[in-house]
Amino acid sequence: MQNNLLETPIEYLKGVGPQRGELLRKELGIHKYGDLINLFPNRYIDRTRYYKVNELVPSNSEVQIVGKIIHVKTVEFGKGKKRLSSTFIDDTGEIEIVWFQGIKWIRESLKINVPYVIFGKTNHFNGQYSMPHPEMELLEDHKASLRSAMQPVYPSTEKLANKGISNKVINKIMQQLFVETHALFVETLPGYLLEELQFIPKNAALFNIHFPKSQELLAKAQYRLKFEELFFIQLQLISKNLIRKHKIKGHAFENVGYYFNEFYNNHLPFDLTNAQKKVLKEIRNDLGNPAQMNRLLQGDVGSGKTIVALMSMLLAIDNGFQACIMAPTEILANQHFNGISELAEPLGINIKLLTGSTKTADRRIIHEELENGTLHIIVGTHALLEDKVQFKNLGLAIIDEQHRFGVEQRSKLWKKNDIPPHVLVMTATPIPRTLAMSLYGDLDISVIDELPPGRKPIQTVHRYDSNRLKVWKFIRDEIEKGRQIYIVYPLIQESETLDYKDLMDGYEGISRDFPLPKYSVSMVHGKMKPAEKDAEMKRFSEGKTNIMVATTVIEVGVNVPNASVMIIESAERFGLSQLHQLRGRVGRGAEQSYCILMTGHKLSSDSKTRLETMCKTNDGFEIAEVDLKLRGPGDIMGTQQSGVLNLQIADLVKDKDILQMARHYAIKLLKEDPSMTKPEHQKLREVFIELGKKKNIWNYIS
């Protein structure tokens, strides 16, 4: 019965009506009873405690005091302005209550020498406390009212406040909702889970999230509702993964053949790290199954993802299939092509590169060889998605930096075969575990979490502009040793002219301080034509220039092992993940490398945290966790991908333990009852099916 009632349009609730209903719909997305019940408070005002006047301390929190008014007067101040002032006492002292509006009406309604409860923020001036415009209630009314001691504060908007839908009003209609529904809500979690996790029932949880009787009951309600929200998201993601493994057929690569073994035994340039071995094993297991692999490979800059990618592609070739690797930019595609060609040269396999700049004659050959199967590996950019590009039998598709490609673009690649290829997605952007579990929860995840031996950790320091002379001396010393230097300027999207000016001023200053013929300086920025950029990059990577001055265009995919110093100007303007990516441009060779973060003296506390984190650790995952705390999930993945994370009550940063627990129980449940058909899962299944139809989980969890 209850669920039907929750479908009732919100305007039918007593106290709402058509006008307020329209506002609630537009401003808060509340269309029906069920939406209102799931409008959870942002915070609570604790009215369990009564203060004495002598316990007050200067602070901006709200307090409530029991006492009485002994004296009222009207005071004139300024030009024709008046305020109403009264003396309020309890048995420990006195406080002034003041009103600046509605003076006449308030004066008439005040009762002298009768016990009141007053509630509000206090001001402290010259040793005297005052409380402007408090909420006031006669003590006997206060004792009789059904209000909970913890008062909820609901999300609101300026428009709602202006139209008189205050927190008090929302509170009132929420009470009305509980009266009309008799607070009978259908239990959505199976009984054995409630018992095992000692959760309070659904009714109690919803009642106590809106009208908590105590801190303890509020905590229990929040815990249960957070678990539920995350549990249903995880059920969705994991079942998607299971369905794919059962339904989407893939090619089983049964042979570990000549190419893989020959490379592994005779041509590996260095021993694989344990992390690389572990990841390869996971990939080999996936590829050996007749279900499509969908794996996310995370590894910090320089952790050796390319070799893992190549070995996975060799498995495809051993089984008679072709492989492709798709990168978001030409620079990156070129780098993959060069790296893979060099590694695979002794094996005599056919590898080609296809980008926007590939000449027409070369394209023809590539198309032909792809279709007749003589081309084993193709490396490319978006150009691989063109309809003209047809494979004989694509068995493995590797996508680098996947968040730069749209979903439709990727699905184009799948459709080039009757049976979809196995998919390996690689990223050098470490994703915090909690985010990975929620955003990529339907992919299997592998992590390369150690760097190859012989790599020295990059030393990172923070220097103020006033230390610039010392920094310049350090650069000269490094250039003397034959090293090369990057100097990066921030890009402020809003103002290209300003960026350009900053960069040009910087370039001119550096050219003066490092003059020809002893030094040679390159420059790269967004306004240059691609060919000019590539030429400058090439000069630098061939060692013809000592210093590369650039905007952030060098962030991805430049590999110059001889560059040992990265200087980041105005480092406080960069985000953490960007700083970490830029730092990863050095430290590619065997020499000690350095990253110097330059800033002015004025820094916000977030900027300080970012700089301290960079100086303290080289671990991309640790950095990503701090980044998540500072920025929140939506920002990290870019808004288009944070749709999954439209969470109503859970918080991925604060509730990661609950998320892990929810994932654990979701996996367990789906292992034992994949189709959720057992009698104890009947309600859960109904909710789950509804969930598949709608975007917002909470509409039907009630």
Q: Is the dihedral of CA 53, 55, 56, 62 positive or negative?
A: negative
Average pLDDT, stretch 427-447?
A: 79
CATH top class, domain 459-617: alpha beta
Alpha-carbon distance 154 to 160, whole Å?
Answer: 12
CA atoms within 13 A on the CB side of 266: 9
Alpha-carbon distance 636 to 657, whole Å?
Answer: 20
Q: pLDDT band at 639, cuts 50/70/90? A: very low
Rounded to 5°, angle at Cα 58 from 54 and 61: 100
Alpha-carbon distance 27 to 31, whole Å?
Answer: 11
Residue 580's SS3 state is helix
- What percentage of the chain carries pLDDT values higher than 90? 54
- pLDDT at res. 188: 92
Question: Comparing 160-169, 382-391, 395-404, which segment has the lowest mean pLDDT?
Answer: 395-404
- pLDDT at res. 491: 74
Alpha-carbon distance 202 to 186, whole Å?
Answer: 7
- Whether the pLDDT of residue 450 is over 90: the answer is no
- pLDDT at res. 138: 92
141, two tokens? 């009314």
Q: pLDDT band at 64, cuts 50/70/90? A: very high
* Per-residue pLDDT tens over the stretch 512-543: 999 999 999 999 887 788 788 888 888 998 99
- Whether the pLDDT of residue 209 is over 60: the answer is yes
- pLDDT at res. 173: 94
- pLDDT at res. 695: 55
- pLDDT at res. 568: 95
- Any idea which fold 258-287+303-427 has? Rossmann fold (3.40.50)
Q: Where are the alpha helices (DSSP H) in 199-290?
A: 202-210, 215-247, 258-262, 274-287
- pLDDT at res. 208: 92
Q: pLDDT band at 638, cuts 50/70/90? A: very low
Residue by residue, DSSP assigns 402-428 as: GGGS-HHHHHHHHTTSSSPPEEEEEES
- pLDDT at res. 702: 40
* Per-residue pLDDT tens over the stretch 83-115: 999 999 999 999 999 999 889 889 999 999 999
Average pLDDT, stretch 250-257?
A: 90
Better-predicted residue by pLDDT, 642 or 56: 56
Contact 62, 119 (CB under 8 A): yes
CA 35 from chain centre, in angstroms, equals 25
Alpha-carbon distance 603 to 463, whole Å?
Answer: 12
Q: pLDDT band at 645, cuts 50/70/90? A: low
Q: Where are the alpha helices (DSSP H) in 415-466?
A: 433-439
- pLDDT at res. 644: 45
- pLDDT at res. 498: 67
- Whether the pLDDT of residue 555 is over 50: the answer is no
Average pLDDT, stretch 680-685?
A: 93
- pLDDT at res. 658: 92
Is it true that 258-287+303-427 and 459-617 share their CATH fold?
A: yes
* Per-residue pLDDT tens over the stretch 124-152: 888 889 999 998 989 988 887 656 678 89
- pLDDT at res. 256: 92
Q: Which architecture does CATH list for 49-145? A: Beta Barrel (2.40)
Alpha-carbon distance 612 to 621, whole Å?
Answer: 15
Q: pLDDT band at 410, cuts 50/70/90? A: low
- Whether the pLDDT of residue 667 is over 90: the answer is yes
Alpha-carbon distance 244 to 293, whole Å?
Answer: 9
84, two tokens? 């109403």
Q: pLDDT band at 284, cuts 50/70/90? A: very high
Report long-range pairs for 387-391 (Cβ below 8 Å, ≥24 apart).
Answer: 388/363, 389/354, 389/416, 390/416, 391/322, 391/324, 391/416, 391/417
Domain layout of the chain by residue ranges: 2-45+154-184, 49-145, 258-287+303-427, 459-617
- pLDDT at res. 351: 97
Average pLDDT, stretch 281-293?
A: 92
- Whether the pLDDT of residue 187 is over 80: the answer is yes
Cα-Cα-Cα-Cα torsion 329, 331, 336, 339, nearest 10 degrees, comes to 180
What are the Cα distances from residue 71, in Å, to 67, 135, 334, 405? 13, 18, 83, 71
* Per-residue pLDDT tens over the stretch 297-322: 998 877 889 999 999 999 999 999 99
Query: To the nearest whole number, what is the mean pLDDT of the chain?
Result: 87
- pLDDT at res. 417: 77
- pLDDT at res. 154: 93
Alpha-carbon distance 514 to 476, whole Å?
Answer: 8
- pLDDT at res. 147: 62
- Whether the pLDDT of residue 184 is over 90: the answer is no
- pLDDT at res. 1: 42
Average pLDDT, stretch 478-485?
A: 95
- Whether the pLDDT of residue 640 is over 50: the answer is no
Question: Comparing 157-161, 253-257, 486-490, which segment has the lowest mean pLDDT?
Answer: 157-161
Average pLDDT, stretch 645-670?
A: 86
- pLDDT at res. 637: 47
- Whether the pLDDT of residue 30 is over 90: the answer is yes
- pLDDT at res. 643: 40
* Encoded amino acid at 125, one letter: F
- Whether the pLDDT of residue 164 is over 90: the answer is no
